[in-house]
Structure 1
Amino acid sequence: MRRVEPGPGQESVWDYPRPPRAEAVRRRAIVTHGGTVVADTDDVVRVLETSHPPTWYLPRTAFTEGVLRPAQRRTVCEWKGTARYVDIVVPGVEPLRDVGWWYPEDAVYPVLADRVALYPAPFDEITLDGERVEPQPGGFYGGWITADVVGPFKGSPGTWGW
């Protein structure tokens, strides 16, 4: 693994902390599924963790009413606790299952309260300040890759032990 040196206006994920840091920022996120905008907000929180592109959390109120549906899946994060998952349901379109998660009882990162993170790959499109987001490799993590972050990123084959 060789760290990519960040250019002007970029951050290296290798400069992010461990344990992660959560910070509120003003960037506009628009999420589209089935040709429908399901979330649009400039009130986002990014979680920064060594070797990962940022994971973005959107307020539950930014989602179109009725598109967030509770799912059965639960996972545990060593830093944030037990995550509950959601499906995205748009009438007339195949639902996206277990595509987002939230931490209902997060005391470590209170700024994440009532916020949902999303895996970007299944959506028609997610943009951040107008730039199309690329998913973090591997499908396990939910980082959003944009031009302002450089890696290498955890998630690709052979990176599990990083």
Structure 2
Amino acid sequence: MKKTIIGVMGPGETATSVDLENAYQLGQLIAKQGWILLTGGRNIGVMEAASQGAKSAEGLTLGILPGATSLGMSEAVDIAIFTNLGNARNIINVLSSDVIIACGMGAGTASEIALGIKQQKTVILLNNNLESQVFFKSLSPDRVYIVETPTEAIETVIYC
């Protein structure tokens, strides 16, 4: 039976302390559900925080990395997929995820959300950026959900 894969996408260098706290909690909650966490696999920002959160709850982590080596990879990644595709790996992140949770906002995150909408994935926005919420919700009112907490994000995954 296929395991559920939850992609947590978010900024690296520009992640806020709130983004990092939310990502860590998301990782924990995803692991507690028995789901697999998918991130961009790097040792920075939301990717690192979500992976560390999942590992703290004994979860399984999957990292889709931009390069061809483990340079810059999170130590909390169990399964590493080396793409050597740079930002083009975002489509792999999206296609490999059953649901996408965007934690925070940045250019790379926005591209993953847009790809998720294009691929008709369920996308959950966990951020306080009202402009992005309005924009992405307008593109897919039935598939984009806006939440305020990691717990609400997980409840939305279960509901969908």
TM-score by length of 1: 0.27
Q: Which has the higher helix share?
A: 2
Structure of larger gyration radius: 1
What is the TM-score normalised by the length of structure 2? 0.27
